[in-house]
Amino acid sequence: FVGGNSFDRIEEVAITQTTGDVYVAGLTQSISGFPGISGGADTTQANGEGFVIRFNNLLTSLIQGTYVGGSGLDLVQALAINQTNGEIYVGGWTTAALNFPGNPTTTGADKTQVGQEGFVALLNPFLTSFRQGTFVGGNGNDTVNALAISPFGDVYAGGVTDNATNFPGNPTTTGADKTQVGQEGFVSRFNSALTSIPQATFLGGNGNDTVNTLAISPFGDVYAGGVTDNATNFPGNPTITGADKTVAGLSEGFVSLLTSDLSDVLRILTINDVTRAEGNSGVASFIFTVSLSPASSSPVMVNYATVNGTAAAGSDYTATSGTLTFNPGETTKTVTVVVAGDSTAELNETFLVNLSGASGASIADGQGRGTILNDDGPTLRINDIPATEGNVGNKNFVFTVTLSPAAASNVTVNCVTANGTALAGSDYMASTTALTFTPGQTSKICTVPVIGNTVVEPNEYFFVNLTSPVGATIVDPDLRGIGVSLNDDGPLLSITNVTLTEGNVGNKNFVFTVTLNPAASSNVTVNCVTANGTALAGSDYTAGTTALTFTPGQTSKTCTVPVIGNTVVEPNEYFFVNLTPPVGATIVDADSRGIGTIQNDD
């Protein structure tokens, strides 16, 4: 146990990597009987005091303890250890500067305590002396909830404030988020001595926000996690490019990624893979999309260059390299690699497009793979099957494997099921089917029984992999078919496709209809979010997110996407309208999206 004769609680635990000793921190209101304080850096208890205690790794011996606080009420709720030198950082809040240890009012990075004030203090590993203390906050109430130490020695504090006035570290001028609204999360960066704050930032939207935890990557990037109750103006575009785009209920957890200097949200660069047939003659364009998320207010640059895989530059494709520049607001750029067509029967081949030397963003996925599908000689394909599961018994999902053209001798291949989100045994019956195409045959089937139920659940999928072909080449990009088991229980959402000409000038609205069947007895919510296909946001259509709410009894809503007219002669193009994970219903569309096809009329 840890405590004395009154109220005590532990807020944080940390372990040294060198000795395994355990440090705990928290709050005590015990006037007597509190263990280990004699010989500590602060031995005075006044009106509720923060504390830190060091134990051996077995918790059988209390090595040393100390109070942390001044003449008011104090709480320690954050703890971090510098694993290089063993020094201890603690953070929390205090209500009085008088007698606060570590000289925060004279040498601290923030020397002023107003109301409930956040603090960070630095102790030696033995807890016998304070190296430095500092306050953290402005003219309101402030709390430090989390501490983290970067690989470069900087100390980061995260917490909550309700006043931007005089908040140290210039968050309102140079922070990633410059606006404080209501109860606002913050992250502050200190030097290791706690004598300066190079930068701070607020973190939140138009509601109440709190930063509760921090983590630093090996590269110094800062992850901040906490809680918010409002998505409006939340930095980093979580509603557009986040893994979870929706704030629902009374509050929502969040994780934000910030640059090490806290001047901006960290921007991520990625490149996709491209798979297509080479053709028998001429050239085929492999168009790779490089994406930036979120958009930047200043230019972002990155280099690209092709590299051989099994495909060789010169004979299979044309090598290319260069630099992409994302101007403010732009989120996608393309790299085109020209692939030479031939009529030689050969294995599928690959080449790479590597990203390097990014400026203004970090590279999260820096390698795009180009797969050149052989389309000469007999080739094998398998289709995808989206179908409802049914409520009872089994429903057969029948996959068709096609050979083109027919071969002059036997061709063999196996169909082998594999789990996706659907699990063998509970959602479908696992199987392996050996297929033999005799001369002249071009089609065979693989049947997978799917198990029906009446459970309201998300759509699920499994795979049928093509393996071990003899006498032909598999031309499917991922060598497999996908079985999508569509939930048919409870309210179901679907979205239409739209095909229209673009027009020559102005905008033309592509109106997608989202249908709920049957009507629900409570609200159903879902978002429509645009995404690039061959049509690009900004030049071909206007990107957007539409939040839909079906109130009880409603069954139809629309999402409108403006398409930009032009007089350029070009191929038909397409974009997507994705339905995000809904609340109160299930998306029955196999790919959870509608397709907008822009027909060229020039």
293 and 345 co-located in one domain: yes
Q: Is pLDDT at 345 greater than 70 in this prediction?
A: no
The verdict on residue 23 lying in a domain is yes
The verdict on residue 546 lying in a domain is yes
Cβ-contact 523, 549 below 8 angstroms:
yes
Residue-level pLDDT at 64: 97
Point out the domain boundary residue: 334, 351, 373: 373
The verdict on residue 2 lying in a domain is no
What is the mean predicted confidence (pLDDT) over 199-213?
94
477 and 522 co-located in one domain: no
pLDDT digits (tens, 9 = 90+) for 78-88: 999 999 999 99
500 and 482 co-located in one domain: no
Residue-level pLDDT at 529: 94
**Which of 331 and 280 is assigned the larger pLDDT?**
331
pLDDT digits (tens, 9 = 90+) for 581-592: 888 888 877 678
The verdict on residue 224 lying in a domain is yes
The verdict on residue 418 lying in a domain is yes
CA 477 to chain centre: 26
Q: Name the band, by pLDDT with cuts 50, 70 and 90, for residue 565.
A: very high
Q: Please give the residue range of the domain that contains residue 523.
A: 492-599
329 and 349 co-located in one domain: yes
Q: Residue 110 maps to which CATH number? A: 2.120.10
Q: Residue 540 maps to which CATH number? A: 2.60.40.2030
Q: Is pLDDT at 298 greater than 90 in this prediction?
A: no
Point out the domain boundary residue: 458, 486, 514: 486
- Tell me which residue has tokens 């203004």: 360
Residue-level pLDDT at 477: 67
- Measure Cα distances from 68 to 79, 190, 553 in Å: 12, 19, 59
Residue-level pLDDT at 583: 86
Q: Name the band, by pLDDT with cuts 50, 70 and 90, for residue 95.
A: very high
The verdict on residue 510 lying in a domain is yes
Cβ-contact 321, 304 below 8 angstroms:
yes
276 and 344 co-located in one domain: yes
d(CA 4, CA 385): 66
Q: Is pLDDT at 571 greater than 90 in this prediction?
A: no
34-38, 377-381, 452-456: segment of lowest average pLDDT: 452-456
511 and 481 co-located in one domain: no
Q: Is pLDDT at 297 greater than 80 in this prediction?
A: no
What is the mean predicted confidence (pLDDT) over 398-418?
94
533 and 423 co-located in one domain: no
Q: Name the band, by pLDDT with cuts 50, 70 and 90, for residue 232.
A: confident
361 and 332 co-located in one domain: yes
pLDDT digits (tens, 9 = 90+) for 124-156: 999 999 999 999 999 999 999 999 999 999 999
Question: Is the CA virtual torsion 529, 532, 535, 536 positive or negative?
Answer: positive
Q: Is pLDDT at 570 greater than 70 in this prediction?
A: yes
Question: Is the CA virtual torsion 182, 187, 192, 197 positive or negative?
Answer: negative
Point out the domain boundary residue: 462, 486, 510: 486
Domain count, the chain: 4
Q: Is pLDDT at 89 greater than 90 in this prediction?
A: yes
Residues 6+ away with beta carbon under 8 Å from 347: 310, 374, 473
Q: Name the band, by pLDDT with cuts 50, 70 and 90, for residue 220.
A: confident
Residues 6+ away with beta carbon under 8 Å from 590: 384, 386, 459, 484, 486
Residue-level pLDDT at 390: 83
23-37, 147-161, 236-250: segment of lowest average pLDDT: 236-250
Residue-level pLDDT at 411: 95
191 and 237 co-located in one domain: yes
The verdict on residue 1 lying in a domain is no
Identity of the residue numbered 354: N
428 and 512 co-located in one domain: no
The verdict on residue 3 lying in a domain is no
Q: Name the band, by pLDDT with cuts 50, 70 and 90, for residue 406.
A: very high
Residue-level pLDDT at 47: 77
Mapped onto helix, strand or coil, the DSSP state of residue 107 is helix
CA atoms lying within 13 Å on the CB side of residue 72 = 15
CA 560 to chain centre: 27
d(CA 127, CA 6): 23
Residue-level pLDDT at 590: 65
545 and 530 co-located in one domain: yes
Cβ-contact 402, 422 below 8 angstroms:
no
229-238, 401-410, 525-534: segment of lowest average pLDDT: 229-238
88 and 211 co-located in one domain: yes
What is the mean predicted confidence (pLDDT) over 112-117?
94
Q: How many CB atoms lie within 10 A of CB 264?
A: 21
pTM score, whole prediction: 0.59
Averaged confidence pLDDT in the chain: 91
What percent of the chain has a predicted confidence (pLDDT) above 70? 98
Q: Which of 32, 36, 33 is nearest to 22 (CA)?
A: 36
